[in-house]
Structure 1
Amino acid sequence: MSALMVLFSSLPAAAQSIMPRAPEVAASSYILMDATTGHIIMEENADEALPPASLTKIMTAYIAEVEIDNGNMSYDDQAYISEKAWRTQGSKTFVDVGSYVRVEDLLRGIIIQSGNDASVAMAEHIAGSEEAFADLMNQHAQALGMDQSLFLNSSGLDTPSGDTNLMSARDLMKLARATIQEHPDHYDIYSEREFTFNGITQGNRNSLLFRDPSVDGMKTGWTDRAGYCLVASAERDGMRLISVVMGTASEEARAVETQKMLSYGFRFYETHKLYDVGDVINTARVWSGAENSVELGINEEVYITIPRGRADELTATLDSEEFIRGGFEAGTVLGSVNVTLDDEVLYSGDVVAIEGVERAGWLKRLIDALTLFIMGLFN
């Protein structure tokens, strides 16, 4: 393999600014992530399994969105409201027992109003019973890599036996990211400030929707055991962040602590695009090929998260095959590239042939073979 170091910019790097330390966050557990890259900007106790209260409903809504997008259910489907759903205590959408409610209205009731009755009704409509739906929730959690989550019901209320659902801040972050990226057609519901059902208008409990125009989701939660919790997502100048706080002291505290995290992430970090699909990063010599050279490039869009203003300090180290012989197709892996900042590897990926190169005829192959032989004698 041969190595080549590439500077991303020929401009002189600006004087490196001091990166302030992350703010103190008054929560039992928290995490902040760049949604595009998956880079964790700050975290504390993010893998501790804690009661999530109504943050549970993000999973309930996620499964409904999966079923809709898979064609197994539609917004216009009518869900029957059982006595169990109707009697469920806590926050309500105020569905009527024995009635039929559109799935779309139930979904809005779950997301905007945090309706426990709507959550049970959705669970029963999808899985036949809330117990069966809880098993489905655990299956989806496993598929999403949510290793510290356990679901017993669709609402997040404590069970009659005193048990409760469990989720970690990192698991909630994974679920929020999947909701945003996998089911974007439904995500706008999380930004709606109020919903009226059965003649009753209720506001969204996420107060950041009313304070910060960049915040467009997601969900609040509270029980005595869980404290005040909030999963939030915001987008500014093409950068999307997801934050999770669990176990804060009050409604105001969960908003303030979340705002601290979002402000820190947006002010001091940026989502930087490294490569587009097909970007050429070098040209390599081809031996015994119909062409004498091949362009080497990237076959995926690549984004990284870096301290704001330091893009000019990035370097890329390219390792490619020392002797590339003709007879390969476009997309063939011919090396790798590592992108670093301050000796930290931010991206490592394959380098591929932008175009294929056919094998040369016998005369050119003979000439190139002799050339390589001679080079080998004198190197």
Structure 2
Amino acid sequence: MARAYPKLRPHSGQRVASVGNVFMHAGHVASAASRSTTVETAALASSSRSSFQWASRALRAASRFSGRVTRRRRGAHPVSQSSGATTRASISAASRTSASSCRYDASPCAITASSIWSPSSVGASASPVLTSFSSVMRHILRKFDRSSASTLATFARGAVVAGLLAVVTEAQQVVRFDFGAKARKTQDAWNNVHQAVTAGVLVRDAIDAERRRTSLDLRQVDGWSGINVDGCVKGGPWPGSATRDSFYVGDHDDRRAVLWLEDLTPGAKVDLLLYGSRIGAPGDRVTVFRVGKARLRLDAQDNVSRRARIAKAVADSRGRIEIVVEAPKPGGLAYLGVLEVRGTFQDAATHRAPAESVHGPPHTTARTWAIADGRTGHILHEHFGHAPREMASTTKIMTAWIALDLADRKPGLLDGVVTVSAVADRTGGSTAGVRTGERLPLKELLFGLLLPSGNDAAVAIAEYLGPRLPISGSGVTPVARFVDEMNRRARVLGLKQTLYLDPHGYSKNRTCAVDLLKLTWTAMQNSTFRSYVATRTRKVSIVTPSGRRREAHWTNTNRLLAIDGYDGVKTGVTRTAGSCLVSSGRRADRHLLVAVLGATSTPARDVDTRNLFRWAWRQ
């Protein structure tokens, strides 16, 4: 039940008491507002309009005295004349905010806590302002009502309560994300994420705990291995539907996932709470969370209530915070079930992206891209160029380069005959159409690798060359040994974001646009490689298991080769990687290399690439 307040009486000396009552009312309203967004109470409706008007006039009159009073003050907080001017302005602003922000009519008065006395009204010199108020109000009390000894205390107490509660009620927003199975969504103001391997924006305009839609977006840059449903069922810090399932990463050699929080105010600080749980399974479940320079460990094994907290994570100049989740040891698994973000976010309805510039590179559908000088390999421009992404069949640049590099060292290797195995024949994805038991020279099979982007050709080449490579890792099969060599060469070249799991890219091989251009520039130094990737069509003769010959016709998937000036190098596309393309282009005496990763379609990646070439050639 609403508390009954006395009417404000705007007569004689009690007008001063009215000022105190106004702020006492503000204090009570602010206290209630801390429990609800808007308070409607009939108590203020009984107060006369003139009381509010008089309160406003009294505070403005106080501002005229404040400079004089503060200059006369002596004690612990001396205030200069300039401070007095600031105080007068602050008091005047406070009077306008306090009186005019109260919507007064015959109906109940609706007041929000932030409109009563906001910190911006008081200003930075809050202590001198309140002290000056005391001095000014003593003067007013002596002038109007010397007997009202308690009025000053009433005024000051109400004002301070209103101001402090206005600060308290301007609380941080809380946005929660639940990572897990689609069938186990968490209801009631949670943002559910169930695309474990999909790259791109997973949640747009996330809702906060009050169901307000914010500008905050969640983007997945590097996906996960899968979804775990054996986490904490009850007793955790959040509902069981949120803590029971989670995303995990750690299959094979891929031990890292990357998320971005986007559309924050540049420089904004937020607090992060991260949680993961795996109940009942033995093994290493230590999870490492990295945000900026912060690095925290959380053991998800049989975890019920442990959480990792990262305080004051700062958004970069693009309004983005990167969260890296990784398993620190080979064979370990890392988990993320809940992400809680606390901060102040813009409203989705009013948030607008910065105005588009008429300068700079073109907009692209590609998630990341980079441009390099074809003569030196130096990176000229990039957009999220170091962000890790799946690379799809651009993997085959490394596969072909290793084969040709070995051939340079071992004359006659390209003339060796490769027999296609059943394993190669059954490889999924794009294909060169070679079948079990068929035979053809390595130099011809490389066309099947690079033109139609044959995954079957990639496996056949790895099986053929693997036994000729030294054992440098854990690989025991020819293909595993070849993949070890791919990763070894990536390390030698300094490709820090690159990881190979297969020789063709149909799984989750990852790289970044900058790494991919470093590799491509190195491969393009080989004249035989340049000849292969510039070939548009090829007809080859294949010997069948019965000894008969058949012809195969292969066409390059790189459509830019049909345009004068483009001379390579490799395409790639999978559902999770999007459309990828590494290209070489020449105009006059300029040679550029362009890599785009994660475009929305094959035509889009071609348009993205051509626009980037046109822009870069003009720089």
In the superposition, the TM-score normalised over structure 2's length comes to 0.38
Partner residue, 1:70:
409
Q: Is 1:135 the counterpart of 2:480 in the alignment?
A: no
Tell me, in whole angstroms, the C-alpha distance in 1 between the residues paired with 2:377 and 2:520. Answer: 12
Number of residue-to-residue matches in the alignment: 243
Give the alignment partner of residue 202 of structure 1, picking from 511, 532, 554: 554
1:179 aligns with 2:530: no
Choose 32-41 or 212-221, whichever is displaced more. 32-41
The within-5 A match list for 1:51-200 is 51-71=390-410, 74-128=413-467, 129-158=478-507, 164-181=508-525, 183-197=526-540, 198-200=550-552
Unaligned runs of 5+ in 2: 1-357, 468-477, 541-549
SS for the counterpart of 1:136 is helix
Q: How far apart, in 2, do the equivalents of 1:73 and 1:127 lie? A: 17
Kept in 2, the 8 Å contact 1:209–1:215? The answer is yes
CA contact (8 A) 1:233 1:243 kept: yes
Q: Deviations over 1:84-139 (max 9, x none)?
A: 01111221112221232200111111111101010000001111421111101001
- Write the letter of the residue equivalent to 1:199: E
Larger RCO: 1 or 2 (CA < 8 Å, sep 6+):
1
- Partner of residue 262, structure 1: 613
219-228 or 87-96, larger mean C-alpha shift: 87-96
User: SS where residue 38 of structure 1 aligns?
Assistant: coil
Instruction: Quote the residue 1:214 is aligned against.
Output: 565
Q: Are the counterparts in 2 of residues 33 and 242 from structure 1 also a CA contact under 8 Å?
A: yes
CA displacement at 1:236 relative to structure 2: 1.8
3-state SS of paired residue (2:406): helix
Q: Deviations over 1:251-298 (max 9, x none)?
A: 100000000111112222xxxxxxxxxxxxxxxxxxxxxxxxxxxxxx
Aligned 8 A contact 2:448 2:554 in 1: no
Runs of 4+ in 1 over 4 A off after TM superposition: none
Greater strand content = 1
Task: Give 1:38 shift.
Answer: 3.2
3-state SS of 2:410 partner: coil
TM-score w.r.t. length of structure 1: 0.62
Structure 1 Cα separation of the partners of residues 359 and 379 of structure 2: 16
Q: What secondary structure sits across from 2:585 in the alignment? A: strand
Contact 1:67–1:73 (CA under 8 A) maintained in structure 2: no
Root-mean-square deviation (CA, aligned residues, Å) is 1.6
Deviation at 1:73, TM superposition (A): 5.3
Larger Rg, first or second structure (1 or 2): 2
Q: Deviations over 1:55-75 (max 9, x none)?
A: 111110010011011126522
When residues 73 and 64 of structure 1 are mapped into structure 2, their CA distance, relative to the original with a 3 A threshold, is farther
Say whether 1:42 aligns with 2:381: yes
- Secondary structure at the residue paired with 1:134? helix
Distance 1:244 1:73 in 2: 33
Partner Cα distance (2:420, 2:370) in 1: 37
> Aligned equivalents of 2:570 and 2:376: distance in 1?
22
Percent of residue pairs identical: 35
Give the corresponding residue for 1:334: none
Deviations 1:190-237 (A, max 9, x none): 111122344332321111111x21100011100000000000011122
Asked whether the equivalents of residues 55 and 230 of structure 1 are also in contact (C-alpha less than 8 Å), the reply is yes
